[in-house]
Structure 1
Amino acid sequence: MCFFRSDKPREGLLADAFARGVIEHGDDAVVRQLTGEVQVASDCEVAVMVGVKSRELYQANWRAGIHTILLDKGYSRHSAGGPIKTWEYWRVSVDGHHPTRYLMKTPRPSDRLQKLRLKISPWRTIGDHIVIAGSSAKYNEFYGLPNPTTYAESLIRHIRQFTDRPIVYRPKPSWKEAVAIEGARFSYGEGETIDQVLEGAHAVVTHGSNACFEAVLAGIPCIIEGDAVAKPISSTKLADIESPLMVKRRERNQWLANLAYCQFTLPEFAAGEAWQIIRPQIYG
């Protein structure tokens, strides 16, 4: 296993913890600094990287036949505290941006889900507006999409073919180039939280935003255009916007339980607990 890390302190903590856990299970691990050039872990079976900024790194290792593990901030985004800004949980996906390819194949127990103490609301059957949850420019580039503004404009035009409901455009808060779009109310910045945007919503439309996770918890169905993590329990066609899929409570709870097995804390990485769960997705 080769972990490619940037010079960010939180990636250093993550890389060290991940490597220790791999070694704990008797496998070999090495941590390498990103150089700014495309790097291929030709002497390893698995390449690990952080975030969608790793597009070229991801593609180069994938083309070389090397398994990839992509890490990013967890689906449940609690702060870890401490002197270095990081998250309590880091999400893990094997050979993909999200674990949707294998997420529902193996039913997981609810033990890890219960530890998260998430508030899960019943599906909402009465709602008003539609939320378009945007992603960053780096995310869109990772998937070969137009810039987030152009992509959101095309979504609005497409949505209007099926409904006249009000639309709220919610860009990724950290994307500094976000602008208002004709045909939608603009929700951006710290003046309005995602929870406030979701209040009274009929549905959420997104390609890959984590807002779909927040929406499902709030009981709001989603239309998934890409590979967002709620895809296994959501509609995937805008034509379904007036009657989006709302799976049975048991299936939604199973999705959440399985998802809890796709995010881990630094101590869980370091102890090898995370690697014990991740490894079978690579080697069977």
Structure 2
Amino acid sequence: MGNNETKTIGVFYTDKNRKTLVMEALMESIIEDGNDITSKYEKADIVITFGLSIFSDIHERARKENKPNILIDLGYWERNYEMLSKKNHYRLSVQHPQPSNYIMHMGEDPERFLSYKKTIQPWKMSGDYILLADIGQKSYDFFDMEYQSWAKKAIIEIQKHTDRPIIYRAKPSSFTAKGGLPGIPFSDPMQEPIEHALKNAYAAVTYHSNVGCDALLAGVPIFIQAGAALHMGLQDLSKIETPFYPTNRFSFFCNLAYCQWNVNEMRQGLAWKHLKEKLIPLVYEKT
């Protein structure tokens, strides 16, 4: 994609406060860059969606047709301010809901990650329990799975290979609506910060939750099936007693920092510039 070419960008989102705030900021920078906006898929050169479940048909169509496709959701950190705060960060991923297919090839400088003042803790080689962090109802719907079905299967598999205690942690919205799992101790996401839940964990197990990234920062090895941190952990739960301790966490986080942006940065054009000049060519022109 030539960087100076005028493009027609298809935007798809529900008219809700947070999504409107984000998409209007991003559209402002796209128009300022000389591009056009459309709500018609057929007219779009590039598609942007905010809403994993409701626009899954558009995402799948764009992916099958190899049309550049950007998906927006909550970011990896700096995401828990008040809903309409412009300081909240949002994930912008290309082609898939998470950047796992290209994140290890981004080669970003450390400046942005260092600006967050995050500390990568030394690896913990022991712990008191395994933290199982579930995905939310919307993700289960997207993957066409029954709610908690993956978590139940994961617990059965873990218990085949270790007698370590398991603590279950749901996403806040799903925990509020549906609670935990019968007979399994739980970490209440409404009351216990994730940093505390990970403090004495031996390992963290998740499908694709951001908890995987939180665990890597906290020095807790991960078992993960998908998501940004896919290449930083193991998928095979039979290896729960022999976790993977990657040595490239710093470069991973340097790349991850460029996968999320706040509203002010979107309005300034920083997010669109990075997508247009770096990520879209990386994914669609060099693979």
* TM-score above 0.5, yes or no: yes
- Scaled by the length of structure 1, the TM-score of the pair is 0.88
> Is this contact kept in 2: 1:132–1:204, CA < 8 A?
yes
Q: CA offsets per residue over residues 12-36 of structure 1, 9 Å max, x none?
A: 1211111122233333334x4xxxx
**Where does residue 216 of structure 2 map in the other structure?**
216
- Scaled by the length of structure 2, the TM-score of the pair is 0.87
Any unmatched runs of 5+ in structure 1? 33-39
State the alpha-carbon separation in 1 of the partners of residues 154 and 178 from structure 2.
15
State the alpha-carbon separation in 2 of the partners of residues 79 and 198 from structure 1.
18
**Where does residue 25 of structure 1 map in the other structure?**
33
Cα 1:4/1:127, change in 2 over 3 Å: same
> Is this contact kept in 1: 2:135–2:208, CA < 8 A?
yes
**Where does residue 166 of structure 1 map in the other structure?**
165
Cα 1:265/1:189, change in 2 over 3 Å: closer
| Pairing 1:114-133 to 2, within 5 Å after superposition | 114-133=114-133
Task: Name the % identity.
Answer: 30
**Where does residue 36 of structure 1 map in the other structure?**
none
> Is this contact kept in 1: 2:86–2:264, CA < 8 A?
no
Which secondary structure state, in structure 1, belongs to the residue aligned with residue 146 of structure 2?
A: coil
| Pairing 1:1-284 to 2, within 5 Å after superposition | 1-30=9-38, 32=39, 41-53=41-53, 54-79=55-80, 84=84, 88-148=88-148, 150-175=149-174, 176-182=176-182, 184-225=184-225, 227-248=226-247, 251-279=248-276, 280-283=278-281, 284=285
State the alpha-carbon separation in 2 of the partners of residues 118 and 276 from structure 1.
25
Moved more, 214-223 or 233-242: 233-242
Instruction: Tell me how far 1:184 sits from its aligned partner.
Output: 2.5
> Is this contact kept in 2: 1:79–1:86, CA < 8 A?
no
Instruction: Tell me how far 1:195 sits from its aligned partner.
Output: 2.0
Which secondary structure state, in structure 1, belongs to the residue aligned with residue 104 of structure 2?
A: coil
State the alpha-carbon separation in 1 of the partners of residues 43 and 154 from structure 2.
43
Any unmatched runs of 5+ in structure 2? 1-8
Which secondary structure state, in structure 2, belongs to the residue aligned with residue 119 of structure 1?
A: coil
Q: How many residues align?
A: 271
Instruction: Tell me how far 1:67 sits from its aligned partner.
Output: 2.3
Instruction: Tell me how far 1:196 sits from its aligned partner.
Output: 2.1
Cα 1:26/1:86, change in 2 over 3 Å: closer
State the alpha-carbon separation in 2 of the partners of residues 206 and 80 from structure 1.
24
AA aligned opposite 1:161: K
The alignment's C-alpha RMSD in Å is 2.0
State the alpha-carbon separation in 2 of the partners of residues 243 and 183 from structure 1.
26
Cα 1:19/1:191, change in 2 over 3 Å: closer
Instruction: Tell me how far 1:183 sits from its aligned partner.
Output: 5.2
State the alpha-carbon separation in 2 of the partners of residues 68 and 145 from structure 1.
24
> Is this contact kept in 2: 1:203–1:220, CA < 8 A?
yes
State the alpha-carbon separation in 1 of the partners of residues 154 and 204 from structure 2.
12
